[in-house]
Amino acid sequence: MKILAVSDTEDTYLEHLIQAHSNKLCKTDCIVSCGDLPKKYLEYVADGLNKSLYFVVGNHFTSQFYEFDAKGAVQTADFEHGGIDLHGRFEIFGDYILVGFGGSMRYNPGKFQFKESEMEKIVKKTMSAVKRRRFFDSMALHKTKDIIVVSHAPVAGVHDKSDMCHSGFKCFGNFISEMRPLLWIHGHIHNENGKKIQQTLLGSTLIVNAVPSKIIEIDNNELSVRQIFG
């Protein structure tokens, strides 16, 4: 499986590769966005590659994706090539379960920010849903599907920063401990050394910072991560 992961910063080199129909992007199976990218940019990438887009929303550009009322957020964005919002839910893609958690730690009155306790409720609810799906798969003697998580904010203690805005969620670590996902892709953290791939192995889970774009390949549970410009 070959994933194009994007987040936070519009990548002009990626745009160039799409325009040039580069072989570097051939055989891409799907696109995942970890948030903080405008809808127009995501449409350009998805339309240019003609691949399905799975996304979570960050703490910016939220009004392009949601309407906010007293009851919470209501999705409004439509994508020509199957843009699917993963926040607080999961989708099946081939042999994988794609799980998503959008937003950031609450640091001001802005939209789509969460306290640790609020995100913990979302994580627990989503985890229960994934467990049910895996139970039904086991009862039907189906192959156990590996989990790939897409989040905007990082896992607490992994790639995050000391300020409240860029701190990670502790409950993400609980999800990793209990569910043991194969891969966790996040955004939100702008790596000062952009040429260095920011990835960390936590237990058996590879955690990758997608900013601004990465190619992630999975072959028999072996993972490789490349920069777009590499």
Note the pLDDT of residue 193. 59
Backbone angles phi, psi at 221, to 5 degrees: 65, 10
Q: Identify the CATH number of the domain in which residue 6 sits.
A: 3.60.21.10
Under 8 Å between Cβ of 55 and 35: yes
Residue 208 identity: V
Whole-number Å distance between alpha carbons of 174 and 205: 12
Whole-number Å distance between alpha carbons of 50 and 81: 7
Segments in the chain forming alpha helices (H): 12-19, 39-49, 116-139, 170-179
Pairing of strands 84-85, 205-209: unpaired
Give me the DSSP letters along 183-209: EEEE-S---SSTTS--EEEETTEEEEE
Whole-number Å distance between alpha carbons of 98 and 67: 24
10 Å CB burial of residue 47 (0-12, 13-18, 19+) is middle
Helix axis angle, 12-19 to 39-49, nearest 10°: 30
The count of domains in the chain is 1
Whole-number Å distance between alpha carbons of 92 and 133: 10
Spell out the residues 6+ positions from residue 96 whose beta carbon is closer than 8 angstroms to its own: 1, 145, 146, 147, 148, 182
Divide the 230 residues of the chain into consecutive groups of 10 and give the mean pLDDT of each group: 97 93 89 97 94 96 89 76 90 97 95 96 98 95 95 97 96 98 97 76 97 96 86
Under 8 Å between Cβ of 54 and 210: no
Backbone angles phi, psi at 131, to 5 degrees: -60, -40
Distance between alpha carbon 9 and the CA centroid of its chain, in Å? 14
Domain that holds residue 13: 2-227
220: left (phi over 0), alpha (psi -120 to 50) or beta: left
